Amino acid sequence: MFPLDFYSMKKLIYDSEFFDIKDTLECGQIFRFKPFKDGYLIFSLGNACYAYKSGDKTVVETDDEEYFYKFFDLGEDYSRIFGYAMQCDFDVVKKSASAGKGIRILRQDPEEMLYSFIISQNNNIPRIKGIIEKTCSALGDRKEFMGEEYYAFPSSEKLAEKDEKFYSELGYGYRAGYMTAVSKAMTEGFKIDDSLPTAMLKAKLLTLKGVGPKVADCISLFGYHRTDSFPVDTWIEKLYVEDFGGTEKDRKKITEYFQNLFGEYSGYVQQYVFFYKRGN
């Protein structure tokens, strides 16, 4: 007998020129994935897929093709975005786009991104992934995909049931208080109107405890797909000085500088240059 998921599994097949699964996953926008067979298992909320490269194609195997078609932004023409970057006046943007040509900006769940990027601040990727995994294991529903056990990302209601001590014991450090405060706010009526202009959406996110400008920009870009966002961290500051000749020290002004330069393409350019500057 074959397992049930053998019968329900579907495949999304896409040219890998503009969908490199490794580069897309390993450029800092997602934390819930792991190596598996010839590719990766990827988890989002309570959904899972297996993605890998086969020849000149990227293949996504899943029992929820509609979810992952949207998740990987497969309705967007990234040749257009790449073309914009290659016409840019800055050589570093052209080099970055060439190096990261296969990167796509994922359309992830806003709440999952909210908590994930609260965890991410002043943290390294292995530790971020470990904390998120512990949180899902402790509070998420148990699931199975392709014979592998995983846990769904817990709801705000589940997260709000726990106190600061619980999060401290999971390794959150000073972020433990942020988790209790934000999950409580989310269960007590905090809402974001998806139609808000990006600047207003960011301002709303900044009212949450523990959400600073960089985290708000990441949530806006990776959770709400606001591609006019431009998160600034130490790598982008380095790029700003070394490759754009910038002199500003205020990250808010650096963000505004890049947004004014790249407009609706800001988030795409940010992912290209961030990927390139880190030496991937």
| Beta strand spans in the chain (E) | 10-15, 33-36, 39-44, 47-54, 57-62, 142-145, 148-151
Separation between Cα atoms, residue 193 and residue 211, nearest integer Å: 18
Whether 214 is a known active-site residue: answer yes
- Contact call for residues 117 and 215 (beta carbons, < 8 A): yes
- What lies within 8 Å, CB to CB, of 202 at 6+ separation is 213, 216, 217, 220, 229
Cα-based distances in Å from 228 to 29, 156, 177, 268? 16, 27, 30, 9
Q: Which of 214, 238, 249, 253 is catalytic?
A: 214
Dihedrals phi, psi of 148, to nearest 5 degrees: -105, 135
At what angle are helices 266-277 and 78-86 packed, to 10 degrees? 70
Q: Which residues are designated catalytic?
A: 214
